[in-house]
Amino acid sequence: MTEPAFPPHIAAALDRLTVPPLPKGFGDRLAARLAAGDLPAESNSIAPPLAPTRRRFGNTGWRRSGRIVTVVAAFGIATATAAASGFFGAPVYVPVVSDALAKAKLVELPQKDFPKPKAKPRCRQQGNGSS
């Protein structure tokens, strides 16, 4: 335990104090009173009564919205995983989820279909000969 920092004059005064010895037979008398249950009326309870506990997770304010956000996020992750694994039909590529499922060797990565580039329209040359 750390020593409290007292100013020098108070520390010197505390050092001069002496504690008187306990009277003879004090411990025996105290043990006898405790064994007999002879205690003051207000000492029935060693500690004061505790305050009623507050509900830690109530249905009010931000706590409720936090639960809603958690449920929506969990539902989103579940549906993304189901879509990536092919539960709803053909597997769909979901960037993080599909890679994790392929790494765990649960499903194969779906082939990405790249759109074919459209052919550029050719310009017709107007060759009717007149200017």
On whether the CB atoms of residues 112 and 124 are closer than 8 A, the answer is: no
Predicted local distance difference test score (pLDDT) of residue 1: 59
Secondary structure of the chain as H, E, C letters: CCCCCCCHHHHHHHHHCCCCCCCCCHHHHHHHHHHHCCCCHHHCCCCCCCCCCCCCCCCCHHHHHHHHHHHHHHHHHHHHHHHHHCCCCCCCCCHHHHHHHHHCCCCCCCCCCCCCCCCCCCCCCCCCCCC
pLDDT, residue 37, reads: 80
Give, for all 131 residues of the chain, the pLDDT tens digit: 577 788 999 999 999 999 899 999 999 998 998 888 877 666 555 667 777 776 665 555 666 788 889 999 999 999 989 988 888 888 888 888 888 888 888 888 766 666 677 777 776 666 555 55
Amino acid 112: pLDDT = 66
Q: Determine how many CB atoms are found less than 10 A away from the CB of residue 85.
A: 16
pLDDT of residue 65: 80
Residue 94 CB neighbour total at 10 angstroms: 18
On whether the CB atoms of residues 100 and 84 are closer than 8 A, the answer is no
Question: 110 and 129 in contact (C-beta within 8 Å)?
Answer: no
Q: What is the pLDDT of residue 93?
A: 85
pLDDT at 2: 73
- Look at residue 57 in the predicted model and tell me its pLDDT: 57
Q: Nearest to residue 107, comparing CAs of 115, 116, 95, 99?
A: 99
pLDDT for 12 equals 92
